[in-house]
Structure 1
Amino acid sequence: MSSKQQTHLGRFIPAIKHSLLGLKAAYQYEIAFRQEVFLLIILLPSAFYLANDFIEFCLLISSVLGILIAELLNSGIEAAVDRISLEHHELSGRAKDLGSAAVFVAIIYFVLVWGYKIFTLL
């Protein structure tokens, strides 16, 4: 194995470690993230039961995972902005609002996907 390949493989384990630390921090400090994890725990078996095929299952679950992804990014933005300064600044407020908007769009996608599925079951 070349030294370049070893370098890439050697970075894999620390990258996973830092990712898991990030998930742990999000769960520990972000109530919205905990609520969304609970939603995933409830909806994962529901999606398995309701989906007609693998693609539909992926769509249902991706809508929940999209909320989690947006929440993680939003929390990262908020932490970075708060680290820089707690003073009100127009750009800081805009950054936080944009992160919040990303979560909102993810929730709209979730409602559309799950709403359509539930509507077709009726």
Structure 2
Amino acid sequence: MNGSDPVNPQALRRGIRRVWHAALISVNGFRAGWREAAFREEVACAVVMVPAAFWVGRSWVEVALLVATVVLVLIVELLNSAIEAAIDRIGPEWHSLSKAAKDLGSAAVLLSILLCVGVWLAALWQKFT
């Protein structure tokens, strides 16, 4: 392999072509995420919670924080799915490091959900008291 034949053809793209292809890659990432049941469930929650944030939040900062915590859950779920896919590509056999990587990704998702729930409960408490 020489310098004119890169492993990643994206490296040769410039300008709007690079942006366009990066967007297509991201769309493929969303499609891969959609195949995960947990991601679909979290998107369903987001479809309800993001519009509700405009009702619950009393200022633009509160609305932004409520929306950000919901989006954070989606981001962490996508990253967790990426970790799981990479581990699964390595091989199906059990390994303590593979288990640790998957467990750490799962723990990150749990923390993001707990953060989201905590922020939303605080905002709802403030709205109704």
Q: What is the TM-score of this pair, normalised by structure 2?
A: 0.86
- The residue number in structure 1 matching 2:80 is 74
Taking every aligned residue pair, what percent have the same amino acid on both sides? 42
Alignment partner of 2:32 out of 20, 25, 28: 25
Alignment partner of 1:92 out of 95, 98, 108: 98
Match of 2:14, SS?
helix
Q: Which runs of 5+ in 1 are unaligned?
A: 1-5
Deviation at 1:8, TM superposition (A): 4.1
- The residue number in structure 2 matching 1:48 is 54
2:42 counterpart of 1:39? no
Residue identity opposite 2:83 in structure 1: I
In the alignment, the residues of structure 2 paired with residue 61 and residue 76 of structure 1 have an alpha-carbon distance, to the nearest angstrom, of 23
- The residue number in structure 1 matching 2:70 is 64
2:11 counterpart of 1:12? no
Count of aligned positions: 116
Q: Which runs of 5+ in 2 are unaligned?
A: 1-12
Match of 1:52, SS?
coil
